[in-house]
Chain A
Amino acid sequence: MISLFKKKENNLPQFWKAYEGTFSEPIPEKVENVRFVVLDTETTGFNYSTDRMLCIGALILLNRTISIKEVFETYLQQKYYDKDTAKIHGILKKGKIKRVSEFEALQQFLAYIGNSVIVAHHANFDITMINKALKRQGLPKLKNKVLDTSTLYKRSLLATPLLHKKEHYTLDELAEKFSISKKDRHTAVGDAYITAIAFLKILDRLKPKKTKSLFYS
């Protein structure tokens, strides 16, 4: 098993190489040409080492448009399950939804994202969860550029000493500030959708001239 983590590059599966290959393409300079993948994961909890992903939901945002056909919603089979968090995500251990193995889900997911810029709320959590899963399957970490709507939102706020900025803003707070319906909250795709709309509204406030400027913090 140890050798799994020491695999050389050329031992990596074909789908990983294909994923890696997409990065030879640079990220477009204009924001409207950038393919953003807005994602959210539902997990059994917040512990990076013991908790597992139950669902990956993602959608593609290109030129301010989301195509429903291209929505990614994959449920994962996991041995570990925490019944306490079930009331939040509502995914039952043996529900009727079709599930795939973690390996297969990652394979689909990598093919889906390619070199897109990942957008997520509190992105660090989702990215770490995915990276942990990749590691379990003997794969390297994600190579994508990542944007976090939580920090971007903070940047879009008025620069005035009168506004007491919070350290963190939850997705619920963003949804309220931007009047986005909280329907389907706590489903991976539902949260990804709320994040996407919030992201668009933040972009509208920030009006970045170039894609690059989004990554400065």
Chain B
Amino acid sequence: MKNTISERVADFIKKFPPFNELSQQDVASLSEEISILYKEKGGVVFDEGEAPHSNFYIVHKGAVSLKKKESTDIIDICDEGDIFGLRPLIANENYILEASALEESIIYSIPIDIFKPVAKKNKEVGNFLIESFASNTRNPYSRSHRGHLYGDTDMLEPINPNAKLLDLQPIRFSKKVISCAESTPIKKVAEKMTKNNIGAMLVVKQKLPVGMITDKDLRNKVVTGEYPITTPANKIMSSPIITYPSKLTITQAQMAMMKNNISHLCLTIDGTPDTEAIGILSKHDVMVSLGNNPAVLIKEIKRAKKFKQIKPLRKSIMNLLSGYLEVNIPMRLTSKIISELNDACTKQIIKIALSKMSTPPPVAFSWLAMGSQGRSEQLLHTDQDNAIIFEDVPEDKLPETTSYFLELAKLVNRGLNVIGYEYCPAEMMASNPHWCLSFSEWKNVTSHWIINPGPDEVLLSSIFFDYNLAYGNKQLVDDLSQHIFDNVKKYPIFLIHLAAGALQNPSPTGFFRQFLVEQDGEHRDFFDIKMRALMPLTDAARVLILSHSIKSINSTEERFEKLAELEPNNAELYMSCSYATKALLKYRTKQGLLHNDSGRYISLDTLSKEEKIKLKRTFKTIKEIQELVSLRFKVANILG
């Protein structure tokens, strides 16, 4: 029965090979037979060694990983529109890999019996299948198939971010070819290059590539005064043009550039200059494919014009992170770089959102990152916690100003969600009217927290007071900080409550110095590293640094270092707190990368004896700092 959902499914699958080769009618009738599967994160679609299902699969939303059961190395990741589990059905053999949802996913399952006759009828589809099996890759047309070798167990190798398989990886290149005619004046060429933010322009003659003009040509031949800016393009272009076929691996591309001493390759349909250009490949593209260079990633983030374009870059950031941890780059440097990159993503998201608004912001505003993001301790994908402060406006303008910023915040929150930040389950997000306020409103709210420090207020302040400017006006943020300090000085009782809050986290070890693990729920028998170890340190650092009226330092480890400087007599304890924070953060990040989650819950069995001892050592430090906080702020007075 044709229905609304089958049309929805048809609209989706017809965009991807091999379905794009089918007639509309075939796609429609195929869609009617499809089932829609929902898999929670980690949900298994098929198991290694399982007999083939009567369906194969295409990812609609989310991502599915293919791997050998006993290994954590992922062999392939299927994204939206990728097909998997087809070959075993045709070859009639059991599944050789396990397919499971890497994130929450919606998967379409297509019955092979219905697909086969359609495939037989259509030559293009048949070719797709033959090619995909012959080349042992999932999708020969995919720009992003990542060197996975499907089917041949001897050659199964994991995707390694650190470049083991690079020579096998086909390269991504920009498909949008910007070109000019031979007679175009250089000034026009330069303008067009600036507008499109590219470093090289293709010169074409009757659609065929004849030469290339790069930034370097402009510098060497024009800016030096050798040619005036009115010169036609063909006078300064590099010619004859060097062309390559588009099915190039990264290594081949690098070799080609080195051999010819050029920075841009022109890719044509058959690899010769006698066919049309289909893409330009720059050194930059090669670097991005390598994905291990923060500078390149930053540049690429800044280039993004859509939320979706940032998503794969976030994946590269994660690759970079696991690479850094593997080679033991100091945690401080690692978190600096990764936070910097995450910040750049957030900034770009806000920029894109601003460009989507119909008018520019009516007044200055600041976008604040709160919680772990505000402390620059957010290395993994976690929830988003953010807020907006905007400049005061006359009262009659307040409703419309507020709704402008709420609308902006909604876009930004969605953008952040697209690139992998979950929505905050407690709705501490700028799109929530409680977290999108004018400067005076924020002053009132924070005063209220400080003057009436109940448990909720303390919790709210402990999240909010780690704010950090992510985008926008700095003055607003500094003024708010000043306001908070003035208030805290006036109402010192607030610090006592904040200190009491800092001491309330459950203890990490029991009476016999054994680890205390969670008693029930989803994470039973796991150790909650966030709640039991990191939070006590973070909370202690916050209240201590606030009592010194210092706002500019947000990261916990740096706060402790600053405290060591301010109070030399406690320097030793503070330094060991700083060290403990770094160590715990590293554990958490490593666990998170291992399990593709926030790393909050640690399975103790996976730790070595040495790691357990190290972890326990940090607990001693936690106990000592809690004692210091308790004594200094005389917390007993309000608890007793």
**Chain A partners chain B:** yes
Query: What is A's interface to B at a CB cutoff of 8 Å?
Result: 57, 59, 64-69, 71, 73, 157-158, 160-164, 176-177, 179, 183-184, 187, 189-190, 193, 197, 200-201, 204, 207
Q: Are the C-beta atoms of A59 and B5 separated by less than 8 Å?
A: yes
A65-B36, A69-B1, A184-B8 known, 17 other contacts, Cβ within 8 Å: A64-B39, A68-B5, A68-B32, A68-B33, A69-B32, A71-B1, A71-B6, A162-B456, A162-B459, A163-B426, A164-B427, A183-B8, A187-B4, A201-B38, A204-B40, A204-B104, A207-B522
- In Å, the complex CA distance between A97 and B242 comes to 59
**B459 contact set on A, CB distance < 8 A:** 162
Give residues 547-581 of B contacting A (CB, 8 Å): none
Q: Are the C-beta atoms of B423 and A177 separated by less than 8 Å?
A: yes
How would residues 1 to 41 of chain B score, 1 for a CB under 8 Å from any chain A CB and 0 otherwise?
10111101100000000000000000000011111111110
Q: Is B425 an interface residue (CB 8 A)?
A: yes
- In Å, the complex CA distance between A190 and B9 comes to 12
Q: Are the C-beta atoms of A65 and B37 separated by less than 8 Å?
A: yes
Q: Is B428 an interface residue (CB 8 A)?
A: yes
Q: Which of A68, A157, A183, A197 contacts B34 (CB 8 A)?
A: A68
Q: Is B447 an interface residue (CB 8 A)?
A: no
**Quick one: given A69-B32, A161-B456, A162-B460, are A64 and B37 in contact (CB under 8 Å)?**
yes
With CB as the reference atom, state the residue of chain B lying closest to A191: B4
For residue B485, give the distance in angstroms from its CB to the closest CB of chain A.
Answer: 24
- In Å, the complex CA distance between A66 and B107 comes to 10
Q: List 7 A-B contacts (CB under 8 A).
A: A64-B39, A64-B43, A65-B37, A68-B33, A162-B459, A162-B460, A189-B5
**B428 contact set on A, CB distance < 8 A:** 162
**Quick one: given A67-B35, A179-B417, are A193 and B5 in contact (CB under 8 Å)?**
yes
**B143 contact set on A, CB distance < 8 A:** none
For residue B204, give the distance in angstroms from its CB to the closest CB of chain A.
Answer: 39
Q: Which of B37, B414, B418, B434 contacts A164 (CB 8 A)?
A: B434
Q: Is B106 an interface residue (CB 8 A)?
A: yes
**B418 contact set on A, CB distance < 8 A:** 179
With CB as the reference atom, state the residue of chain A lying closest to B2: A73
Q: Which of B1, B8, B35 contacts A193 (CB 8 A)?
A: B8
**B32 contact set on A, CB distance < 8 A:** 68-69
| 4 closest Cβ pairs, A-B complex | A189-B4, A66-B36, A158-B425, A200-B38
For residue B175, give the distance in angstroms from its CB to the closest CB of chain A.
Answer: 25
Q: Are the C-beta atoms of B4 and A201 separated by less than 8 Å?
A: no
For residue B6, give the distance in angstroms from its CB to the closest CB of chain A.
Answer: 5
User: Which of A65, A157, A183 is most buried by chain B, counting CB atoms within 10 A of its CB?
Assistant: A65
With CB as the reference atom, state the residue of chain A lying closest to B34: A68
Q: Are the C-beta atoms of A68 and B9 separated by less than 8 Å?
A: yes
With CB as the reference atom, state the residue of chain A lying closest to B454: A161
* Interface majority SS (helix, strand, loop, mixed), chain B: mixed
For residue A118, give the distance in angstroms from its CB to the closest CB of chain B.
Answer: 18
For residue A183, give the distance in angstroms from its CB to the closest CB of chain B.
Answer: 6
**B104 contact set on A, CB distance < 8 A:** 201, 204
**A184 contact set on B, CB distance < 8 A:** 4-5, 8
* Size range of the chain B interface in the assembly: 20 to 34
- In Å, the complex CA distance between A157 and B35 comes to 29
For residue B549, give the distance in angstroms from its CB to the closest CB of chain A.
Answer: 26
- In Å, the complex CA distance between A66 and B38 comes to 8
- In Å, the complex CA distance between A45 and B109 comes to 37
**A177 contact set on B, CB distance < 8 A:** 423
For residue B188, give the distance in angstroms from its CB to the closest CB of chain A.
Answer: 42
Q: Are the C-beta atoms of A65 and B34 separated by less than 8 Å?
A: no
**B434 contact set on A, CB distance < 8 A:** 164
Give residues 419-444 of B contacting A (CB, 8 Å): 423, 425-428, 434
**B40 contact set on A, CB distance < 8 A:** 204
Q: Are the C-beta atoms of A190 and B4 separated by less than 8 Å?
A: yes
**Quick one: given A164-B434, A197-B106, A204-B104, are A65 and B35 in contact (CB under 8 Å)?**
yes
Give residues 383-437 of B contacting A (CB, 8 Å): 414, 417-418, 423, 425-428, 434
For residue B327, give the distance in angstroms from its CB to the closest CB of chain A.
Answer: 35
- In Å, the complex CA distance between A187 and B35 comes to 20
Give residues 40-54 of B contacting A (CB, 8 Å): 40, 43
Q: Are the C-beta atoms of A68 and B36 separated by less than 8 Å?
A: yes
**A69 contact set on B, CB distance < 8 A:** 1, 32-33
- In Å, the complex CA distance between A65 and B38 comes to 6
With CB as the reference atom, state the residue of chain A lying closest to B109: A65
**B3 contact set on A, CB distance < 8 A:** 68, 71, 73, 189
For residue A154, give the distance in angstroms from its CB to the closest CB of chain B.
Answer: 13
How would residues 588 to 614 of chain B score, 1 for a CB under 8 Å from any chain A CB and 0 otherwise?
000000000000000000000000000
- In Å, the complex CA distance between A115 and B456 comes to 45
**B456 contact set on A, CB distance < 8 A:** 161-162
**B522 contact set on A, CB distance < 8 A:** 207
Q: Are the C-beta atoms of B4 and A57 separated by less than 8 Å?
A: yes
With CB as the reference atom, state the residue of chain A lying closest to B463: A162
- In Å, the complex CA distance between A176 and B431 comes to 12
For residue B636, give the distance in angstroms from its CB to the closest CB of chain A.
Answer: 25
**B34 contact set on A, CB distance < 8 A:** 68
**B417 contact set on A, CB distance < 8 A:** 179
- In Å, the complex CA distance between A184 and B427 comes to 27
- In Å, the complex CA distance between A184 and B426 comes to 29
For residue A210, give the distance in angstroms from its CB to the closest CB of chain B.
Answer: 16
With CB as the reference atom, state the residue of chain A lying closest to B423: A177
- In Å, the complex CA distance between A209 and B416 comes to 33
For residue A158, give the distance in angstroms from its CB to the closest CB of chain B.
Answer: 4
- In Å, the complex CA distance between A201 and B43 comes to 13
For residue B449, give the distance in angstroms from its CB to the closest CB of chain A.
Answer: 12
**B425 contact set on A, CB distance < 8 A:** 157-158, 163
**A190 contact set on B, CB distance < 8 A:** 4-5, 8
For residue B417, give the distance in angstroms from its CB to the closest CB of chain A.
Answer: 6
For residue A60, give the distance in angstroms from its CB to the closest CB of chain B.
Answer: 10
How would residues 142 to 157 of chain B score, 1 for a CB under 8 Å from any chain A CB and 0 otherwise?
0000000000000000
For residue A81, give the distance in angstroms from its CB to the closest CB of chain B.
Answer: 21
For residue A155, give the distance in angstroms from its CB to the closest CB of chain B.
Answer: 13
For residue A6, give the distance in angstroms from its CB to the closest CB of chain B.
Answer: 37
**B4 contact set on A, CB distance < 8 A:** 57, 71, 73, 184, 187, 189-190, 193
- In Å, the complex CA distance between A163 and B424 comes to 10
Q: Are the C-beta atoms of A158 and B426 separated by less than 8 Å?
A: yes
For residue B608, give the distance in angstroms from its CB to the closest CB of chain A.
Answer: 31
**B8 contact set on A, CB distance < 8 A:** 183-184, 190, 193
- In Å, the complex CA distance between A38 and B423 comes to 26
**B39 contact set on A, CB distance < 8 A:** 64
For residue B133, give the distance in angstroms from its CB to the closest CB of chain A.
Answer: 28
**B38 contact set on A, CB distance < 8 A:** 64-66, 197, 200-201
For residue B286, give the distance in angstroms from its CB to the closest CB of chain A.
Answer: 33
User: Which of B32, B37, B109, B434 is most buried by chain A, counting CB atoms within 10 A of its CB?
Assistant: B37
**A204 contact set on B, CB distance < 8 A:** 40, 104
**B35 contact set on A, CB distance < 8 A:** 65-68
- In Å, the complex CA distance between A161 and B458 comes to 12
How would residues 199 to 221 of chain B score, 1 for a CB under 8 Å from any chain A CB and 0 otherwise?
00000000000000000000000
- In Å, the complex CA distance between A98 and B527 comes to 59
**A187 contact set on B, CB distance < 8 A:** 4
For residue B42, give the distance in angstroms from its CB to the closest CB of chain A.
Answer: 11
- In Å, the complex CA distance between A162 and B454 comes to 12
